[in-house]
Structure 1
Amino acid sequence: MKIIIQRDRLVQSVNDVLKAVSTRTTIPILTGIKLKANEEGVSLTGSDSDISIESYIPSEEEGNELVEIKETGSIVLPARFFAEIVKKLPENSVEIEVHAHLQTIIRSGKAEYKLNGLNADDYPQLPQIEEENMYAMPIDLLKTIIRQTIFAVSTSETRPVLTGVNWRIEDGQLICIATDSHRLAMRKTAISGNGNSHSVVVPGKSLSELSKILDDTDEEIQMIFTENQVLFKSKNLLFFSRLLEGNYPDTSRLIPNESKTDVRINTKELLHAIDRASLLARESRNNVVKLSTLEGSYIEISSHTPEVGTVTEEILTHSIEGEELKISFSAKYMMDALKALDVTEVTINFTGAMRPFVLKGVEDESMLQLILPVRTY
């Protein structure tokens, strides 16, 4: 194999596939990045057997030559060293040449490195996926959906299925749900595609890495589901992820249908007030803030930590309807939910001091956040 390639594009592709390379793998070849050159261009692959990422650099794009293929072939190079080397090369042109015994020469300007490669034939093949259940949506919408749900996945391995986001597709609609059993985030959107109804659980870690790689663009990304894999496919990128096994709990039972107290309020004002109250609450173990309804459409946000002190702040709401209420909750969970909603005004529906409460954007049914209160004595 012998190629001359633009350094910037190489660095970008290496950084993308590096997100799938694990240093803690029992399969030594997976600590490497696979390069494969054919007449059309070069593909780079990284994998940790849960996530596999392939980034493609075409020989030519929009009239610019990105890669000159002198000789086709393939090689696996140690990922960490290769990534550091290409980042620091002096010129924007890089020559990569594989010699006998898999020794690989990397040249740029006056700099020359020799790396010991591994045989690409020993690298695991990417899954072959039939393109039956294929759906599509704009990339920027996908990134928004990931941001609005992923923070609510569980970080505990005691129930592995909760470390992922449940993706349900039915009647042209995608419903994404994440919960750690203390809070829940749900986002709905229309989706185009030719597949049947689907319910899969995509690992939160995979979605987080995918979101980092994708550029903010309205170009479409395709999603293809199989029994145990999902493939996200954009112009020059393939992102495979293993799906989580097990049945995702039926979360519809958690979401209350009626409410006893409804508060409508400016999202930023509430977020900043809770942030201020949490300055003292942070000192205590559980970061609890209390919300109480007052006369004349006011609410009070307060926090008390015996060894530090007390904070109270009143905020004028747009409206309060229903019963009086005092409720305590995690400041962090509430702030995460308000940031994710991304709306100017929020409606909070309470069903009592010890029952889960729901946050929604005013006149926006596509998104919902649910939080369990904290019992304080």
Structure 2
Amino acid sequence: MEQLLDIRHQEQVDGEVQPTIAFEIEHEDILNILSICEKIVPRVATIPILKNIKFNLDGDTLFITAVDTEQSLLQMVKIHNMGEQKGSFLFPAKEGIELVKRLPNGKLTFVKENWTLFVNYGRRGKATLTILSAEEYPTLPQPVVDEFIQVPTDVLKKGALGKEMALIDEATPALTGICISNFDGMLGFVATDRHRVYKYVSNVEVTEEQIQTSLISARSFKQIVDSFKCERVDICLTEHYLVIRESSTIYFGRLMDANFPLDALESIMSNAEKGTLITFSRHELEDSLNRALSLDAKNNRISLEIEEATGSLVLHSQSETSEVSEYFEDAIIDGECPIMKFNGKYLKEASKMGDKNINRVLLRVRSSGSPGFLSFEADPSVTIVINPVR
């Protein structure tokens, strides 16, 4: 142990003398960083070197880089440089991250000797990991960045909710993304799987020069923005990248080269204020759908209709052997209400995408064959389109 921590100790590697790298860091600090890197490192890497994370020590700062073919991330953290040496190496992501997750709280000591990394923890533990040279590791993108926009992190997280309504099937790549665009001078986000559309327009003002219509992977975008703990970040859209930065992190998400059907979706959205408006309890809707979805109905089909005898709004579900009917006694119906048939699972997911403090949902309907438009009382920023089922 004493020899490992001796800052004067030297390595002999390929005929060259290299200084021993040794640094100390809090377990919580390194774990937070590696947990975000884990979202970037590809599960199946066609380029084997990407299964590693780059550690680069410079002074009292450790730079940690994770790279995938679609995104990359650089994070910085302050450490105690025990040897006052510079150097870099590749840390094995899968085993290394899993090891760090299981280490005890407190200070960890990392010592690089030759191509072995010694990790010392607690009073009685040490581990070793085989590491690689960082010479062949990909460099970070160097996009030309003209201007960053400061955006509340909650805005990006709300935009990333579109992932729930984006396709998973990569056979149609354009629909696996979230479209970022300028909606009448405001930053907005749209996603669709053909059956549903999620549109969120924030109160962040943007210009045409700052935001051009772009498409980012829904999965990658949600993973990274959910990891941010700061209140605000800076974003920039370049020709090829969405760049997000905060005080100690910079993220590069490669934009998708696919044609998102934004114009067609905007044409559908133009009907969002037409038809009959129904206002009712979000809690009651979710509660009723929870029971209705217990039935084995085709396409999870439920119907919303007005009972002639009472004038009450009724949610109805039926399978070959069972039936559920529930009333919304406090529903407010402004106009004639057609019988609407929706996929109950889709409707339930949509109802959960609004602010948790809002307990009234608004449903705009025109005809049995037209889409329904779901929004939330006192929050006009979100509109969800749900196509009817037969």
Q: Same fold per TM (> 0.5)?
A: yes
State the partner residue of 2:363: 348
Going from structure 1 to structure 2, the CA distance change for 1:210 and 1:67 (only over 3 Å counts) comes to farther
- The 2-side partners of 1:7 and 1:69 are apart by 19
- 2:337–2:365: 8 Å Cα contact kept in structure 1? no
- The 2-side partners of 1:199 and 1:232 are apart by 17
**Equivalent residues, number:** 362
State the partner residue of 1:310: 323
**Structure 1 stretch displaced more, 113-122 or 352-361:** 113-122
Structure 1 segment 145-160 matched on structure 2, within 5 A: 145-147=159-161, 149-160=162-173
State the partner residue of 1:288: 301
- 2:158–2:200: 8 Å Cα contact kept in structure 1? no
State the partner residue of 1:230: 242
Q: What is the letter of the counterpart of residue 21 of structure 1?
A: V
Equivalent residue for 2:138, pick from 96, 103, 124: 124
- 2:153–2:225: 8 Å Cα contact kept in structure 1? no
State the partner residue of 1:140: 154
Measured after TM superposition, the shift of residue 132 of structure 1 is 1.0
Equivalent residue for 2:44, pick from 19, 24, 29: 24
Equivalent residue for 1:9, pick from 9, 22, 29: 29
Equivalent residue for 1:51, pick from 63, 66, 71: 71
| Contiguous gaps of at least 5 residues in structure 2 | 1-20
- The 2-side partners of 1:67 and 1:6 are apart by 13
- TM-score normalised per structure 2: 0.87
Equivalent residue for 1:103, pick from 112, 116, 135: 116
- 2:297–2:317: 8 Å Cα contact kept in structure 1? no
Going from structure 1 to structure 2, the CA distance change for 1:197 and 1:71 (only over 3 Å counts) comes to closer
1:357 equivalent to 2:369? Answer no
Measured after TM superposition, the shift of residue 153 of structure 1 is 0.8
**Deviation string, structure 1 residues 188-210 (Cα, Å, up to 9, x no partner):** 11225674341101111112211
**Deviation string, structure 1 residues 275-323 (Cα, Å, up to 9, x no partner):** 221111xx245211111112455111111100x3111111124421222
**Deviation string, structure 1 residues 110-131 (Cα, Å, up to 9, x no partner):** 3232322111121100111332
Going from structure 1 to structure 2, the CA distance change for 1:262 and 1:123 (only over 3 Å counts) comes to same
Q: Report the secondary structure of 2:40's partner residue.
A: coil
Q: What is the letter of the counterpart of residue 289 of structure 2?
A: I
Q: What is the letter of the counterpart of residue 323 of structure 1?
A: E
**Deviation string, structure 1 residues 3-28 (Cα, Å, up to 9, x no partner):** 11112211111111111112311211
State the partner residue of 1:200: 214
State the partner residue of 1:262: 277
- 1:51–1:240: 8 Å Cα contact kept in structure 2? yes
Going from structure 1 to structure 2, the CA distance change for 1:327 and 1:171 (only over 3 Å counts) comes to closer
- The 2-side partners of 1:177 and 1:221 are apart by 20
1:333 equivalent to 2:346? Answer yes
Q: Report the secondary structure of 2:213's partner residue.
A: strand
Measured after TM superposition, the shift of residue 371 of structure 1 is 0.4
State the partner residue of 1:63: none
Measured after TM superposition, the shift of residue 236 of structure 1 is 1.6
- 2:244–2:252: 8 Å Cα contact kept in structure 1? yes
| Contiguous gaps of at least 5 residues in structure 1 | 60-65
Equivalent residue for 2:334, pick from 321, 340, 343: 321
Q: Report the secondary structure of 2:178's partner residue.
A: strand
Q: Report the secondary structure of 1:81's partner residue.
A: helix
- 2:272–2:364: 8 Å Cα contact kept in structure 1? no
- 1:96–1:106: 8 Å Cα contact kept in structure 2? yes
- 2:151–2:233: 8 Å Cα contact kept in structure 1? yes
Going from structure 1 to structure 2, the CA distance change for 1:321 and 1:42 (only over 3 Å counts) comes to same
RMSD between aligned residues? 2.0
- The 2-side partners of 1:90 and 1:329 are apart by 50
Going from structure 1 to structure 2, the CA distance change for 1:222 and 1:68 (only over 3 Å counts) comes to farther
Going from structure 1 to structure 2, the CA distance change for 1:168 and 1:88 (only over 3 Å counts) comes to same
State the partner residue of 1:164: 177
**Deviation string, structure 1 residues 347-372 (Cα, Å, up to 9, x no partner):** 21111001111112235321111100
- The 2-side partners of 1:92 and 1:32 are apart by 24
Going from structure 1 to structure 2, the CA distance change for 1:247 and 1:122 (only over 3 Å counts) comes to same
Going from structure 1 to structure 2, the CA distance change for 1:258 and 1:55 (only over 3 Å counts) comes to closer
**Structure 1 stretch displaced more, 41-50 or 89-98:** 89-98
Measured after TM superposition, the shift of residue 133 of structure 1 is 3.9
Going from structure 1 to structure 2, the CA distance change for 1:4 and 1:193 (only over 3 Å counts) comes to farther
- The 2-side partners of 1:373 and 1:192 are apart by 34
Going from structure 1 to structure 2, the CA distance change for 1:371 and 1:91 (only over 3 Å counts) comes to closer
- The 1-side partners of 2:280 and 2:287 are apart by 12
State the partner residue of 2:15: none
- The 2-side partners of 1:40 and 1:191 are apart by 37
Measured after TM superposition, the shift of residue 69 of structure 1 is 5.8
- 1:302–1:311: 8 Å Cα contact kept in structure 2? yes
- 1:300–1:312: 8 Å Cα contact kept in structure 2? yes
- The 2-side partners of 1:227 and 1:213 are apart by 25
Going from structure 1 to structure 2, the CA distance change for 1:105 and 1:192 (only over 3 Å counts) comes to farther
